Amino acid sequence: MPATIAIRGGLVTFRDDPFRHPSRDCLLHELDALILIVDGRIAQVGPYATLRHAVPDGVPVTHYENAVISAGFVDCHVHYPQLPLIAAYGAQLLEWLEHYVFPVEARYADPVFAAEVAATFLRELLRNGTTTAAVYCTVHPQSVEAFFTEAARFDARMVAGKVLMDRHAPDDLRDTAQQGYDESAALMDRWHGRGRAHYCVTPRFAPTSTDAQLEAAGALLKRADGLYMQTHIAENRAECAWVETLFPERASYLDVYAHAGLIGSRSVLGHGIHLGEADLCACHAAGAALAHCPTSNLFLGSGLFRLFDALDPRRPVRVGLGTDVGAGTSLGQLATLNEAYKVAQMTGHTLSAAQAFWLATAGGAEALSLGDRIGRVAPGFEADLCVLDLGATPLMRFRMPFCDTLDDQLFALMTLGDDRAVRATYVAGRKVYDRDADDFFPLPDRPEARR
């Protein structure tokens, strides 16, 4: 018999992109909705009064009152190994890497340590309603094994890969072009397409890879269909100047990657704060996506991402949100939206609540080329959901009655909300996190999840 789950509550999802069309034409809002899920996919969605008779006999309806059910959040750029150093005090990018990041990442040579952090990281994502992420591991293959093994325990759709880094890094964090290729290929063969795992070729950033390694990364992308590529670009002005000295023959930072065959429709470039117009046009032409990481960019003083320039309708670039932990200050997309609004204000634009939630759900899914599977609450989509409590804190309970519109509610939620606002998280139709039970629910232990 198919496994059927029924969930009732307020619903917010998207019909279309609110950066391109009026919000009223893009948002689908049901005050009292029913979502029927069969074998991990959404089968029916609509008003409870209309659909309640479609619930099979014996199937309980889980009712979330004073809540909004949304598609699960999508994080387009995050470093799970950096979780132990979140909130490390003060430095800009290059110094921060040297003094904080590299010493911690060296510890992932220990598979036990890698497994412990991966377990904590996955649970923190789920606690914050994030069901899919594009994740950087470390140079160590065991860090990738640990991450994908833990993600498989929850059946979470995740994009991840081993960092490639053969220069300008400590000895214990460097591979070689050949070693990086061989280890990535083995991980790719083991994990890509297994369950809901996607492998991502991951050169850290241009300064830490030689031309030979970047070319090897380009060769890796040709080994299988559906592979991703993630890296950093134009995050910090000192970094940009360093790239110019290391690659004087290239026309731009983006051209360093394009020359190696790394820029395409499944390329996700972190930050992109200091990209010029020519490079934004090149991203549009290639279909490459940018990950906007506002909490990280503010924390490291890197600059202000020009979201509305990137989304210029004359040559739009796909954009998703990234928490970027540990430079980012929260794994929560609500906190990230809060800061994204402020960054937009400082660049002369207003980010509406509908646009913000688009970036965190359907827009993020599109940035990861997964917009046909996740990011919306609609029939045929995978049932990755988060339930957001409109009265999660005393201040939210006080504030919400003064909200006259849905936009007001969503804006208050993204401004005042944090992990306490996530009432429950569902992955592939299974409740994997329940705030009130203060517990997580991985799949029963299976031998294949430990292989």
What is the secondary structure of 215-232 as a DSSP string? HHHHHHTTSSTT-EEEEE
Q: How far apart are CA 73 and CA 209, in angstroms?
A: 31
Residue 60's Cβ-count burial label (10 Å; 0-12, 13-18, 19+) is exposed
CB 207, CB 199: distance < 8 Å: no
Q: Is the pLDDT of residue 275 over 80?
A: yes
Q: Which residues of 406-433 are buried (b: 16+ CB within 10 A; e: fewer)?
A: bbebbbbbbbbbebebbbbbbbbbbbbb
Going by pLDDT thresholds of 50, 70 and 90, the confidence category of residue 449 is: very low
The whole-number pLDDT of residue 265 equals 97
The whole-number pLDDT of residue 1 equals 52
Average pLDDT of the segment spanning 288-294: 98
The whole-number pLDDT of residue 91 equals 85
pLDDT digits (tens, 9 = 90+) for 6-40: 999 999 999 999 999 999 899 999 999 999 999 99
Q: How far apart are CA 264 and CA 416, in angstroms?
A: 37
Going by pLDDT thresholds of 50, 70 and 90, the confidence category of residue 187 is: very high
**pTM for this entry:** 0.97
Helical H runs in 136-276? 141-154, 177-191, 211-220, 237-246, 253-259
pLDDT digits (tens, 9 = 90+) for 37-65: 999 999 999 999 999 999 999 999 999 99
Domains of the chain: 4-72+376-438 (2.30.40.10), 73-367 (3.20.20.140)
Which DSSP string do the residues of 336-357 spell out, in sequence order?
A: HHHHHHHHHHHTT----HHHHH
Q: How far apart are CA 340 and CA 130, in angstroms?
A: 17
pLDDT > 90: percent of the chain: 96
Q: Is the pLDDT of residue 2 over 90?
A: no
Q: Is the pLDDT of residue 375 over 50?
A: yes
Tokens 């997964």 identify what position?
Answer: 370
pLDDT > 70: percent of the chain: 98
Going by pLDDT thresholds of 50, 70 and 90, the confidence category of residue 283 is: very high
The whole-number pLDDT of residue 451 equals 31
Average pLDDT of the segment spanning 406-421: 97
Q: Is the pLDDT of residue 201 over 60?
A: yes
